[in-house]
């Protein structure tokens, strides 16, 4: 999948959870959503995108991907 599409989807998911949660909980909710619903290849690609700078991601989406990456490395 194109990275641009993943960025758009992650930002849209972040916007939803920002409206539903407080700012501290939104990244956790986005990370949980990505873990639950995204294909492992999509998660890998967005994590690699953040590792290379994460251009285009809103702060909540970026933080969520960082949480997701940290959770994968602690397994």
pLDDT of 68 strictly over 70: yes
pLDDT of 16 strictly over 90: yes
What average pLDDT is seen over the chain? 94
Position with higher pLDDT, 71 vs 22: 71
How confident is residue 75, by pLDDT bands cut at 50, 70 and 90? low
Distance, CA of 37 to CA of 48 (rounded, Å): 18
CB 25 within 8 A of CB 64: no
Nearest to 14 by CA among 75, 66, 71: 66
């Amino acid at each position: 999948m194109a990275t641009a599409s993943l960025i758009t989807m992650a930002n849209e998911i972040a916007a939803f959870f920002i409206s539903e949660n407080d700012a501290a909980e939104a990244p956790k909710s986005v990370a949980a959503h990505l873990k639950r619903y995204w294909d492992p290849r999509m998660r890998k690609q967005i994590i690699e995108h953040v590792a290379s700078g994460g251009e285009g991601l809103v702060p909540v989406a970026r933080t969520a991907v960082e949480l997701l990456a940290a959770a994968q490395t602690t397994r």
